[in-house]
Amino acid sequence: MFFEQERGQFFRPMTGKYRAQIMECLRELYQRLYSSSSADYGQAIQRDTVVEVFQEALVRAPVLADGSEEADDTPDGRFRNSREQAGWVLNQLLEHGWLEKQVDEATLQSTFAFTRYGRLFTEPFITESRSMARTRHRNTRNTRNSLESFLERGDIYDLLDAYEYSERIISDFTDVIAELEERKRDLVREMEDQLLIQRASEAFFDFMENRFQPDLSVRLSADNVEKHRDTIQKIINAIRKKDVAFKAKTERRLRELLPELGQEGQSVFWTLLDGIEMRLRNASDIMLPALRRALQSFTKRADIIIRQMSYLASQSKNDVLTVCKHLASKTEKEQNSILERAGELMAVPQVRLVDPGQVRMAAPRHRRHIEAHLDDGQGDFDIEARRDIYVQQVLDQAFLVNQQALKNYMQRQLSTGKPVSTRDMPIESAQDFLAVAHAIGLGAADGLSSEFTFRIDYDESPAREQGDVYFTKKDHFTFELVQKES
């Protein structure tokens, strides 16, 4: 359990009036032990050294006097000097489990070092303030490289590295999205004042130069999850197709290194591979679109700030509003006097004469009038004339033989609206015979008009001829010209 023994009030130093100073002390001590050029690299240091480090940190950190603690606990003027306050900070960190005191039984000298949890909780303070370049945008490629190395050499630690790198892909996306959202909120908050707007614009351009270009642009291009996802998937499939001996050896080794993952009937090897696949899929399908949306929202907010700055810059040289306010404070008589004086100052007449030699009379132009009206064809022809024209067009197409008499006969009959039967068509010559034989062609020639159509019916009259000079037996049809239904 975490909150036990000295860690019962582990976070109490971070909730009081001096929390900013205590955090700065932890940061300085961490850099002294682990990360600075003069670091002792994890070795415990004596009390005087710790107090000196804390004294340097207390000078830079402010006191957050927000009344979060009782007055008796942190009264004003409590410490006479920085050394006394550094000793108090050291005692607080020892009491609540951030630091531990180690006593050498041989020399009876006391040394101080971070506890395991104290070091873990101090690392975020260092990461947040670290200005050195970080290669967070290489985790996708590191995952691919580690899997390739495991496929070639079979080193189990390469597989564990790939599993760890795949986890960092998700966490890095989460950190960047949270950072963009925080910066966007800062931009919204700083738009209330012109000076804050200027500072917000500078912060935006600083972010684009120092953060977006070296990190986010690489994450969206060279280290794009979508770019390497297929390659990593192929490597994982190749690992799954390894022989049984290789997979059994890997499974035994993983159960030795990760006994907490070993379960009956479940493969640790397969669990790691499935975890890498799932993280890549989530990073590609969920986190990368979320990062793009967050970046787009942030740039839109910055665009609003730039537009507002441009508007304020343009208004700084525009005195119209100031003049209007000044006139509004005057009486009507004073307003008229001010406007008359302004009119006299603005009225600067300029008299110029036109050179007669430059005057030329242009020749008149004749405009061309074009009749663009279209004739709809409905005015000069009545329905009877259109009926005759349509019947003539259909007969010309239906009867390929030239028999004017038969055409005239059918035209007269059809134009009057009467039905015409083929049994009534006279046959007096070979041309009449051919015309009667082709009379059924009227049905194929129909469709030339949008108003009229031919109705062709089979003539079932009982008085049917059994034969004549030209036909031994023939069928008869009736033709009738009717108007189409609208």
Measured torsion, CA atoms of residues 143, 148, 149, 150, in degrees rounded to the nearest 10:
90
pLDDT the model gives residue 374: 61
pLDDT the model gives residue 160: 92
Q: What is the mean pLDDT of residues 349-378?
A: 72
pLDDT the model gives residue 20: 84
Higher pLDDT, 69 or 291: 291
Q: What is the mean pLDDT of residues 333-350?
A: 83
* Domains identified in the chain and CATH numbers: 5-129 (1.10.10.10), 136-316 (no CATH), 383-483 (no CATH)
pLDDT the model gives residue 148: 93
For residue 84, pLDDT over 50 is answered with: yes
pLDDT the model gives residue 215: 65
Q: What is the mean pLDDT of residues 196-205?
A: 67
Instruction: Give the model's confidence band at 327: pLDDT under 50 very low, under 70 low, under 90 confident, else very high.
Output: confident
Q: What is the mean pLDDT of residues 179-201?
A: 67
pLDDT the model gives residue 159: 92
Looking at mean pLDDT, say which of 75-84, 90-99, 309-318, 455-464 comes out highest: 90-99
Name the one residue in this structure whose structure tokens are 């957050």.
64
For residue 71, pLDDT over 50 is answered with: no
Task: Tell me the per-residue pLDDT of 31-69, one tens digit each, with 9 for 90 and over.
Answer: 887 765 555 554 667 888 888 888 888 877 766 555 444
pLDDT the model gives residue 273: 92
* Helix 244-257 / helix 268-282 crossing angle, nearest 10 deg: 90
Instruction: Give the model's confidence band at 451: pLDDT under 50 very low, under 70 low, under 90 confident, else very high.
Output: confident
Q: Structure tokens of 198?
A: 């200027």
pLDDT the model gives residue 291: 82
Q: Structure tokens of 186?
A: 């800062």
Name the one residue in this structure whose structure tokens are 């209330």.
192
The helix/strand/coil state of 135 is coil
The helix/strand/coil state of 483 is strand
Q: pTM of the entire structure?
A: 0.46
Q: Structure tokens of 195?
A: 């000076």
Task: Tell me the per-residue pLDDT of 7-41, one tens digit each, with 9 for 90 and over.
Answer: 778 888 888 888 888 888 888 888 887 765 555 55
User: Radius of gyration (Cα) for the chain, nearest Å?
Assistant: 50
DSSP 8-state secondary structure symbol assigned to residue 364: P
Task: Report the alpha-carbon distance of residue 287 to residue 483 in Å, rounded.
Answer: 70
* Paired strand residues for 110: 103
For residue 73, pLDDT over 90 is answered with: no
18-22, 163-167, 248-252: least confidently modelled range: 18-22
Instruction: Give the model's confidence band at 381: pLDDT under 50 very low, under 70 low, under 90 confident, else very high.
Output: low
pLDDT the model gives residue 313: 66
Task: Report the alpha-carbon distance of residue 257 to residue 259 in Å, rounded.
Answer: 6
Looking at mean pLDDT, say which of 83-87, 160-164, 261-265, 299-303 comes out highest: 160-164
* Paired strand residues for 482: 453
Q: What is the mean pLDDT of residues 462-481?
A: 69
The helix/strand/coil state of 332 is helix
For residue 147, pLDDT over 90 is answered with: yes
Task: Report the alpha-carbon distance of residue 431 to residue 437 in Å, rounded.
Answer: 10
pLDDT the model gives residue 132: 44
Task: Tell me the per-residue pLDDT of 218-240, one tens digit each, with 9 for 90 and over.
Answer: 666 655 777 788 899 999 999 99
